[in-house]
């Protein structure tokens, strides 16, 4: 028997180790359990028993997260994804389900209510809750972004699994103390749940500054179009209008919305001169968000083959690199 085969045979079934580690967690020894989950799973990885290593890491991540140990749980969750990559595990429904189960264990506590902002103790509680929320979002985002990258490499859509993008968009929106709707929209447009996206936009419109509600709709539509996805851009507009009507909410009537409606009609035809005329006519509306012109340059590239004059830089360059268009 070769040394490598002997090494593999020396390891017990993963379930034996999992049962021992569960007892350590139940005793409240989270740090000790963390080190054991990492070291024991590493032995299975080095023996190329990837399936068992994944079982151990999934169990560890879920247990730590269930017990509010977000940093420990997310560390094991990231090791789970790293092991998927090392083991060259293909993207399929069963593996996605394992990722989903870890994601569902990330806590979603509510922000403390009825606080007296003039009271030092209440302010301390609020400050701690905000800091904890930021940590949760950062940890969950790191895990899901790594999962998206794995899924894109091992069999999902070129932008990564739509389901994983939807999970990330939902967690970022529901748990971030300060919502970045650009990042939320970035992930929603790579998902398939238009109803959820529409509901999220409408919810955000009720929280944003007065007069800026149309920006969220326009940004989402332009993001779809920058990917060449005219179908879902139209569907999202229909979903937003339908849901707002059902809730007796007024759809924003602005020059920006007028531009978006004209743009959706224009892109159905080979009409580059009309596209350019629209951009010029609604220039002031485009200047309301610096991202709009960057997105429209991508729209021109996708629908009319117009090459960009300048490479994307800064925040916008990073966004489009994430989109996979650079």
Q: Say how far apart CA 48 and CA 18 lie, in whole Å.
A: 18
Residues 6+ apart with CB under 8 A from 193: 166
pLDDT of residue 317: 58
Pull the structure tokens for residue 259.
Answer: 């531009």
Q: Does residue 24 lie in a domain region?
A: no
DSSP-assigned letters across all residues of 125-157? HHHHHHHHHHHHHHHHHHHHHHHHHHHHHTTS-
Has residue 314 been placed in a domain?
yes
Tally of residues, the chain: 326
DSSP 13-35: PHHHHHHHHHHHHHTT-HHHHHH
pLDDT value, residue 95: 94
* Spatial separation of the C-alpha atoms in residues 163 and 191, rounded to whole Å: 6
Residue 237 lies in a domain: yes
Domain total of the chain: 1
Q: Which residue, 201, 228, 210, is CA-closest to 302?
A: 228
How far apart, in whole angstroms, are the C-alpha atoms of residue 84 and residue 50?
8
Domain containing residue 252: 192-325
Q: How far apart are CA 107 and CA 68, in angstroms?
A: 7
pLDDT at residue 123 in the model = 73
The reply to whether 170 falls in a domain is no
What is the C-alpha separation between 288 and 137, in angstroms, rounded? 28
Q: Look up the CATH number of the domain holding residue 273.
A: 1.25.40.10
The pair phi, psi for residue 289, each rounded to 5°, is -140, 120
Joined together, the tokens standing for residue 277 give 């005329």
The vertex-277 CA angle with 272 and 283, nearest 5°, equals 125
- Which stretches of the chain are DSSP H helices? 3-10, 14-26, 30-46, 50-66, 70-86, 93-104, 120-153, 162-175, 181-188, 194-205, 213-226, 230-246, 255-266, 272-281, 283-286, 290-304, 314-323
- Block means of pLDDT (10 residues each) for the chain, 326 residues, are 53 90 94 96 95 97 96 98 96 94 92 67 78 93 96 88 97 93 96 96 88 93 96 98 94 94 95 95 94 94 86 54 45
| 103 inside domain | no
Structure tokens at 191: 């998902």
Asked, for residue 223, whether it belongs to a domain, the answer is yes
In a domain, 63, yes or no: no
Q: Could you tell me if residue 279 is inside a domain?
A: yes
pLDDT at 313: 52
- 142 with 61: CB under 8 angstroms? no
φ, ψ at 67 (rounded to 5°):
-95, 15
210: exposed, middle or buried (Cβ count in 10 Å: 0-12, 13-18, 19+): exposed
Q: What is the pLDDT of residue 323?
A: 44
Torsion, CA 127, CA 131, CA 132, CA 136, rounded to 10: 150
């Amino acid at each position: 028997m070769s040394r490598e085969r002997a090494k593999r045979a020396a390891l017990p079934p993963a379930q034996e180790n999992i049962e021992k580690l569960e007892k350590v967690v139940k005793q409240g020894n989270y740090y000790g359990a963390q080190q054991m989950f990492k070291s024991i799973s590493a032995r299975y990885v080095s023996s190329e028993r990837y399936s068992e290593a994944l079982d151990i890491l999934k169990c560890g991540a879920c247990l730590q997260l269930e017990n509010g140990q977000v940093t420990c749980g997310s560390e094991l969750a990231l090791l789970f994804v790293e092991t998927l990559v090392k083991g060259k595990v293909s993207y399929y429904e069963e593996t996605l389900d394992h990722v989903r189960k870890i994601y569902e264990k990330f806590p979603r506590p509510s922000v403390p209510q009825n606080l007296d902002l003039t009271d030092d103790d209440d302010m301390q509680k609020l400050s701690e809750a905000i800091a904890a929320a930021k940590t949760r979002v950062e940890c969950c985002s790191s895990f899901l972004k790594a999962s998206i990258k794995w899924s894109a490499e091992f069999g999902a859509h070129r932008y990564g699994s739509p389901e994983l993008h939807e999970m990330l968009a939902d967690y970022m929106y529901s748990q971030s103390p300060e919502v970045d709707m650009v990042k939320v929209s970035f992930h929603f447009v790579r998902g398939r749940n238009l109803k959820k996206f529409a509901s999220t936009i409408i919810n955000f419109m009720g929280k944003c500054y007065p007069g800026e509600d149309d920006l969220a709709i326009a940004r989402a539509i332009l993001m779809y179009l920058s990917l060449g996805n005219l179908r879902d851009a139209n569907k999202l507009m229909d979903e937003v209008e339908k849901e707002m009507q059902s809730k007796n909410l007024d759809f924003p009537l602005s020059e920006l919305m007028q531009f978006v409606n004209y743009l959706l009609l224009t892109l159905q035809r080979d009409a580059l001169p009309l596209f350019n005329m629209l951009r010029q006519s609604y220039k002031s509306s485009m200047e309301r968000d610096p991202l709009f012109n960057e997105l429209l340059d991508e729209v021109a590239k996708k629908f009319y083959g117009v090459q960009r004059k300048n490479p994307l830089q800064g925040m916008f360059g990073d966004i489009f690199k994430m989109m996979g268009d650079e």
